[in-house]
Amino acid sequence: MGRAIMVQGTASGVGKSILVTALCRLFAQEGYRVSPFKAQNMSLNATVTPDGREIAWAQYIQALAARAVPSADMNPILLKPEAGSRCQVIVHGRVVGSFSAREYPACIREMAQEAISSSLKRLLSTSDVVVIEGAGSPAEVNLRERDLANMAVAAMADAPVLLVADIDRGGALAALVGTMELLPPEEKRRVVGVVINRFRGDADLLTPAISFLQETLGVPVVGVLPYLPGLALGEEDSQTQPRLYFSRESTVQVDVVVVDLPHLANSTDFLALATEPGVRLRFVRPEERIGPTDLIVLPGTKTTIADLKALRATGMVDQICAARTLGIPLVGICGGFQMLGRSLHDPDGVEGSLAQAEGLGLLPLETVFQRGKVTVQVEAEVITDLGPFAGLRGMRVRGYEIHTGRSGGKGQSVFRICGEGAREEGMISPDGLVWGTYLHGLFENPPLRQALISWVASRKGLRLDLLREGEPAMLETSFERLAEAVWRHLDVVWLFRVLGLVPPTSRRIFEGALSLEKDEGKGA
């Protein structure tokens, strides 16, 4: 049976997910079989496992950091907010229904507890170390009786807890003391150490604060982790993403706008675009002006019809149609692809109470929402030469589908799905300026991403010197940076001893610190 360590936070967004990712890579580097685990995650950033199950993006990335195969056991409960204060509930990667906040605990609490327990047992039986991530804060007293993600899980796994606070946002000391004060004695005893995250500056300045915390809390401050900019991991949830991304070059040559829909899903689809030199990526809310731009993207959404209604109410539809008239290229992904069509129909109320809507009419496409969600990883082949796909016919790309709508119409397809169930997919306008697809993750395919950016730049008479480094390499760099920071700034020997593992040698710790110092020296 494997061992478990849990990372909880004083609030949402303090860096729990990042620390879990770092620890997954740390233990994997030492040769341990590692699995991440988050019992319940509320997020609109999701992806698909190799066996076709839907899990949160954060746990998928953590699995890659752990050098493990992503599975639904790593995120047994996924909640996806919908319109009307409802949530779609996904258990072990499959939809079980849509519930209001009040309905959820009574309706499926027992199912959720069983799913969490069975998943955790499987991971503990097949892993040396399970790194568990909490949700929000364990000190939310109004939620303690229905806790499915924090101390209840720590007790289930008999896991020691690291409590994390974000000092960059301020109030870290008060948050740590307040959180511990609100925990009942049996839960407080599970907290074995405190981590201060995202510190900038001279750590010696924190010495008085660390002494105060250790005396007040009765547990050690085991790490002061630095602020690490530029990690290519994406946000845990699309609702907390930054709204502006710049490439590594300061000169903006290609401006890309993603319409920031009210229920935007899978914002991680587009972050790879901003890794290319000269590209600026902007998320623009429906009530805002798009302004001058070179490419507009309509992204995925959890509630296509409701979000399309919001675009009409704010005038964003008029901006998009005006951009089409001006010849600005337009791309739709998943829900955005559905919006580009002529009409959308929801006869069974899959998305909500709105039964139908008129689309933007920019592609000859009709969409019907049906019960039963498509969740699958795919390989596809480009089958058009129009627009940005000129010269790409026959190129293979990888992606994944997460959708309930089925779309069809008489237009030029973009891709052919390979393998079993081969079919044509996507659609592009005759002039190549408007296209859409159900495939998420397309821009993580460097050749396709670079072809799109090069094509957009060429329309302005520009030629960009694009990267030759793929997304997997950038992810690996981020994982290694995180692990190295933990080696240097967290008491790794203490951590291994808490878990009953043989501590790494002091030589390994020294080499890690030395390597990081050299890298920081190069970047100075």
**Structural contact between residues 213 and 173, judged by C-beta atoms closer than 8 angstroms:** yes
Two tokens, residue 455: 């094509």
Residue 334 a catalytic site member: yes
Strand partners, 119: none
Question: CA 179, 183, 189: angle at the middle one, nearest 5?
Answer: 110
| Type of residue found at 444 | E
- Phi, psi (5° rounding) for residue 25? -70, -40
Q: Give dist(CA 171, CA 163) in Å, integer.
A: 15
Two tokens, residue 222: 């085991």
- 423 closest CA partner among 411, 415, 433, 412: 415
Residue from 92, 263, 403, 440 carrying the catalytic annotation: 440
Residue from 87, 334, 403, 489 carrying the catalytic annotation: 334
CA 325 to chain centre: 34
Q: Give dist(CA 280, CA 282) in Å, integer.
A: 7
* Beta-strand relationship, 46-48 and 434-437: unpaired
Torsion-angle region of residue 43: left (phi > 0), alpha (psi -120 to 50) or beta?
beta
Q: Give dist(CA 318, CA 356) in Å, integer.
A: 20
**Structural contact between residues 369 and 405, judged by C-beta atoms closer than 8 angstroms:** yes
Two tokens, residue 233: 């991991």
Q: Give dist(CA 464, CA 254) in Å, integer.
A: 9
**Structural contact between residues 319 and 286, judged by C-beta atoms closer than 8 angstroms:** no
Cα torsion for 182, 185, 191, 197, to the nearest 10°? 10
Q: Is the dihedral of CA 322, 332, 413, 295 positive or negative?
A: positive
The catalytic site residues sit at: 334, 440
